[in-house]
Structure 1
Amino acid sequence: MNIKKVVAVALILSSMTAVSASAAEFNDIKGHWAEEVINELADKDIIHGVSDTEFNPDGTVTRAEFLKMALGTVGIADVPYRSGECLDVTASDWYGGCVQSALDKGLIPENMIGNYAAKITDGKAIYSGFFDGDKPIKREEMAYMVYMLYQYSCDEEESYNILTPVDLQFDDVSQISQWALDGVRYAYTNGLISGMDDDTFRPQQTATRAQAASIISRLLDKTE
Structure 2
Amino acid sequence: MKKLAIALTTAALISSISTTAAFADEHHDNGQHHDSGQHNDNGEHNDNGKHKGWYKDEVDFSDLDDFDWAKTAVTSLAKKGIIQGVDKHHFNPGGSLTRAEFSTLMSQYFALKPANPNQEDYVDVHKNDWFFSQVEATKDYMTKWTTSNGSYAFMPNKTMNRMDTAVSLVEILVHQGSLQLVSQAEADQILSQYADASSIPSSLRIHVATAIKAQVMKGVGSHKFNPLGTLNRAQAAQLLYNLQIQVEVPPAGTGSKEESTEIPPNAGSNNGSAQGTNPAANSILGVGITNTSTDANGNIHLNVHVTTTGVNTNTAVGVELVNQNGDSLNPAVVQSGTINNNDATVDLALPAGLSKGTYKLKVTVGSAVNQDTSYTKQ
Q: Normalising by structure 2, what TM-score?
A: 0.47
Highest relative contact order (Cα 8 Å, sep 6+), 1 or 2?
1
The answer for the alignment partner of 2:107 in structure 1 is 71
Distance between the aligned counterparts of 2:218 and 2:206, measured in 1?
Answer: 15
Asked if 1:213 corresponds to 2:213, the answer is: no
Matched, 1:142 2:174: no
Secondary structure of the residue aligned to 1:14 is coil
Residue deviations 1:14-60 (CA, integer Å, cap 9, x gap): 3421352443x111112412122112111222111111111111111
Select 1:177's aligned residue among 187, 191, 201: 201
- What is the rounded CA distance, in whole Å, between the counterparts of 2:74 and 2:82 in structure 1? 9
Q: Give deviations 1:91-126, integer Å, cap 9, x for gaps.
A: 2112222332333xx3233xx2232887xxxxxxxx
1:61-106 per-residue CA deviation (whole Å, 9 max, x = no partner) reads: 1111111221332232234433555432112112222332333xx3
2:105 and 2:119 mapped to 1: Cα distance?
22
| Distance in 2, Cα, partners of 1:27 & 1:66 | 23
* SS of equivalent residue, structure 2 residue 147: strand
Are the equivalent residues in 1 in contact too, given 2:43–2:52 (CA < 8 A)? no
Q: Residues 82, 196 of structure 1: CA spacing in aligned structure 2 closer, same or farther, 3 A cutoff? A: same
Number of equivalenced pairs = 197
Please identify, of 77-86 and 129-138, the stretch whose mean Cα deviation from structure 2 is larger. 77-86
Amino acid of the structure 2 residue aligned with 1:114? T
- Segment of structure 1 superposing worse, 79-88 or 27-36: 79-88
- Match status 1:107 vs 2:133: no
Correspondence 1:192 to 2:222: no
Mapping of residues 39-58 of structure 1, within 5 Å: 39-58=75-94
Change (3 A) 1:58 1:198: farther
Higher-strand-fraction structure: 2
Instruction: Name the counterpart of 2:65.
Output: 30
Matched to 1:95, the amino acid is F
**Percent identical residues:** 24
CA contact (8 A) 2:42 2:98 kept: no
> Is 1:14 aligned to residue 44 of structure 2?
yes
Q: Going by fraction, where is helix more abundant, 1 or 2?
A: 1
Q: CA separation in 1, counterparts of 2:221 and 2:71?
A: 17
1:73–1:220: 8 Å Cα contact kept in structure 2?
no
Cα distance between partner residues in 2 of 1:102 and 1:31: 32
Letter in 2 for 1:90: H
Residues 85 and 201 of structure 1, relative CA distance in 2, 3 Å threshold: closer
Q: Does the 8 A contact of 1:150 with 1:219 survive in 2?
A: no
Contact preservation (8 Å) 2:41, 2:103: no
Q: TM-score, normalised by structure 1?
A: 0.75
Pick closer, same or farther for the CA change 1:174–1:152 going to 2, 3 Å.
same
Unaligned 5+ runs, structure 2: 1-38, 46-50, 251-378
Q: What is the aligned-residue RMSD (CA, Å)? A: 2.7
Q: Return 68-77 or 208-217, whichever deviates more.
A: 68-77
SS of the equivalent of 1:34 reads helix
Q: Which amino acid aligns with 2:176?
A: S
